[in-house]
Amino acid sequence: MSLVRPLVIRGLTLIGVLLAVLLLLVISLGATGFSDRLLQAVVGEEVRGLRTSLAQTVRDPEELERTLEVRRQQIETFYGLDRQWYQRLPDTIFRVLTLDLGEARTLRSSFGSSKVADIMLERLPRTVLLITTAAVVSTLLGIAIGARLATKPGTRVDRAFSYFSAISFALPAWWLGILMILLFSFKLGILPTGGMYSTPPPEGGVLRFLDLFKHALLPIITLVLVTVGPYIYSVRTMTLSVAQEDHVTVARAKGLPDGLVERRHILRVAAPPIVTGLILGLTGSLGGSILVETVFNWQGMGRLYYDAVAGTPDEAVIVALTFVFTLMYVVARFVLEVLYLLLDPRVRYT
């Protein structure tokens, strides 16, 4: 019971972070005029489409303009442009807080649904296949290699991986993605340039999945190359000081195998910061990578955010995505609070 109260307080604090982020989002969209300009652009597109269709039946120019003006006012009322932003946006935020993500105004799922929840549920598995797979591969390699390097500081292998980590960290993901496309797609012709399926896509579950994996292979390799280096160096740095402590020296003096020393006496002690990077990294991966998904034309969560902001702006999708990403961060932070108690008994809350 002594730990329940601090965890509840921590949970309420994280909920406060969530509300603060949504408040800042409302101010950013409304006070800057972005929301009004976004909706005016949508109204303008609808009115132009309506003008084209009515011009074929209404021959009187004055009657056409009057009809369009009435229709414009109706559309502006529908989108809430007859109200100020501080009157319109809080309703949207309240619906999102109750997990009613609403409907997108311009974006649609592949099945034609305009519900934001349907669009996100369609995009999320694609991001898991691409970004989360790359994050898991980078994490496993980083932990395995980084912990081993911490036991051999200053060796040639350690210096080689230090150089590799610096290069990996410096490489822009979008630039490396374009380079990989030029090499493996145009030069060697062994992997597709982008997209998710061939044209036409293969029929059948297994063949369709293999075709999807083939298209995902190049962006996964790109993401692993730009993330594994920094993660290896981070794990190596976090475990280096632990590897030089007395209890590790005693374990080696007892003749314990290197693998056992790494798992029980190094990684276990250094687990809290490693787990922090792992949980937050996996949580962030669910948000997708805007640049990589755009370069490879991968229809995931990152590309959805790009389409909602830079394509045809969609206010409902922007608010819903920001809420979901922040909610995932809040949940991840709370999970970390619990894991710290399990991984390090020295942690005490007062």
Per-residue pLDDT reduced to its tens digit, 156-192: 888 888 889 888 888 888 898 899 999 988 888 888 8
DSSP 175-211: HHHHHHIIIIIIIS--S-SSSSS-SSPPPSHHHHHHH
Q: Residue 12's pLDDT is what?
A: 78
Residue-wise pLDDT for 265-283, tens only, equals 777 777 777 777 777 777 7
Residue 347 pLDDT exceeds 60: no
Burial 198-223, CB ≥16 within 10 A → b, else e: eeeeeeeeeeeeebbeebbebbbbbb
Q: Residue 182's pLDDT is what?
A: 92
- The CATH code of domain 119-343 reads 1.10.3720.10
Estimate to the nearest angstrom the gap between the alpha carbon of 159 and the chain centroid.
Answer: 32
> Where in the chain are all domains bearing CATH 1.10.3720.10?
119-343
Residue 1 pLDDT exceeds 60: no
Mean pLDDT over each residue of the chain, to the nearest integer: 79
Residue-wise pLDDT for 14-72, tens only, equals 777 777 777 777 777 777 776 777 677 777 777 777 777 777 776 777 777 777 788 88
Residue-wise pLDDT for 9-25, tens only, equals 777 777 777 777 777 77
| Measured distance CA(324)–CA(128) in Å, rounded | 15
Most confident range, picked from 17-31, 130-144, 251-265: 130-144
User: What are 240's two structure tokens?
Assistant: 């280096």
DSSP for residue 311: S
Is this model's pTM higher than 0.75 or not?
A: no
Amino acid 9 reads I
Q: How much of the chain exceeds pLDDT 70, in percent?
A: 91
